[in-house]
Chains A and B, each alone.
Chain A
Amino acid sequence: MGLPFSRIAATTSLMLIPSFTQVLSHPYRSLAIIFVLWKILLLLIAGLSPGLGYDTSTDLLFELNTANVDSRRYYLPQTVLKRLSARLVRWDAIYFISSAKHGYIYEQEWAFGWGVTTIIGRVAYYCTTSKARSSNDIA
C-alpha cells in the first residue's frame, strides 16, 4: 500500500494541527482556543495537586478541617468549583475573598484593591439568595 508510515503520520498531523496562516486568518477564534487549552492545563495541575498545602489559612477560611464532615451530595460542577476554590484562594486571594464578603474589617485589608473586592462582593451578592447569604454552611 503506497504511502510510507512517516508520510501518513505527517499528513494526519497536518490535518489536526492548523497551519500558522490558518491560525492567523481567524485571530480571535485562535486566541480563544489557545486560552481555553492553556487554562484547562493550568487548572488541571492546580486541581489534581495533592494535599491541603502548607499554608492552612485556606482550610480555615472554608472550614475544611472542622469536625462536622460534610455528608451532602454535590453535583460534579459544584465539586470541581469547590476544589478549585480551595486551590486558588491562597495568599492574597484569601484577603480579597474575605473582604469581598465582609467588607474591610482590619485596616491592613485596605492594601488589597478596593475596586476588586467591591466588584467580587457585588457579583457574589446578586448571584446568591438571601437565604444562602445568611447561612454559614459550607455550601
Chain B
Amino acid sequence: VPFSGIYAEAVAGILLSNLAHFLSVLVLYSLSKSVTIVSKAGYMPFIASTLHVLSPAGLFMSAPVAESLFSLFHISAMLAYCSSSRSPVDKHERHLKSDMYVLLSGALFAVACTMRSNGLFSGILYAYDLFALIFRLMSAPATAQVWRNATAVVTAGVIVLVGFLYPQIAAYRQYCRHLHGDNPTWCNALPPSITTHVQSHYW
C-alpha cells in the first residue's frame, strides 16, 4: 500500500469526492428524466447533468470536502422520493412499494444531513405530504392505506431528523457529561448545539 501518514486520508478523500461527483451526475440525469415528460423534455435532462459536471463549485467537487458526497446522497434521496410518487395507480393512493421509496428517501436525506446540516430543509417534503394526508382524512373516511402512508411519511421525517441530530448528540455526550458545573456554557444553551456554538464563536 503506497500511502501512509496523512496522505492516506487525503487520497481517500479526493477519490471519494470524485467518485461521488460522478455518481451524482448520473443520478441527476435519471432524476431529471423522471420528473420531465419524456416526449417534451428533449435534451433538458442531459444539459442539466452536463451543467452539474461543469459545476461552478469547480475543484471543490474534487477536493476532500462535503460538497460532492452531500450532492450524491441528496440527489439520490430526491430520486427515491420522486420514484415513490410515480406509481401508476391513483395519485392519492400509495402502494406499499411507494411507501418503501419514501422510507429510502428519508434514509438517504438523513445521511446527507450528517454531512451538511442544511439537508434538514428536505424534511419539508414530508411535512407537506403529512398535511396533504391530514386534509384527505378530513374529507374522506380513513382507509388502512392512508394510515400506512401517514406512518411512512412521519417515519421518513423522523429518520431525517435523526441524521441531523446524531452528530449533535455525539458532541453533547462528549462535552457535556458533567452533571454539575464544569461543562462548556453551550451545554446549557437552547438548543445545546455544538454547531451553533462554534459557528458563532469561531466564524
Contacts and interface: CB of A to CB of B under 8 A. Distances in A.
Contacts of A107: 171, 175, 184, 194, 197-198
Interface of chain B: mostly helix, strand, loop or mixed: helix
B11 to A, nearest CB: 5
Contact of B10 (A24, A30, A85, A135): A85
A28 B46 CA distance: 9
Contact of B63 (A75, A88, A110): A88
A136 B198 contact: no
A107 B65 CA distance: 18
Interface string B4-22: 1111111111101010011
B139 to A, nearest CB: 41
Contacts, number: 178
A124 interface: yes
Given A27-B29, A110-B171, A111-B202, A38 B53 contact: yes
Interface of chain A: mostly helix, strand, loop or mixed: helix
A92 B171 CA distance: 20
Contacts of B170: 114
Contact of A27 (B46, B197, B202): B46
Nearest to A138: B5
Given A20-B43, A93-B63, A113-B114, A31 B26 contact: yes
A128 B12 CA distance: 10
A13 interface: no
Interface in B113-169: 113-116, 166-167
B4 A23 contact: no
Contacts of B113: 115
A28 B4 CA distance: 35
B2 A88 contact: no
Residue with the greatest number of chain B CB neighbours at <10 A, chosen from A92, A97, A98, A108: A97
Residue with the greatest number of chain A CB neighbours at <10 A, chosen from B9, B46, B69: B9
B54 A38 contact: yes
Contacts of B54: 38
Interface in B15-46: 16, 18, 21-22, 25-26, 29, 43, 45-46
B62 A88 contact: yes
Interface residues of B, number: 57
Interface residues of A, number: 62
A128 B16 contact: no
Nearest to B171: A110
Interface string A69-98: 000001101100110110011101100111
A121 B16 CA distance: 11
24 contacts: A27-B46, A28-B26, A30-B46, A38-B54, A42-B58, A81-B14, A88-B59, A97-B10, A98-B9, A101-B8, A107-B171, A108-B198, A111-B199, A111-B202, A114-B114, A115-B66, A115-B69, A115-B114, A123-B16, A127-B1, A127-B12, A132-B5, A136-B5, A138-B5
- Top 7 A-B pairs ranked by shortest CB distance? A115-B114, A132-B4, A114-B167, A85-B10, A124-B12, A115-B115, A113-B66
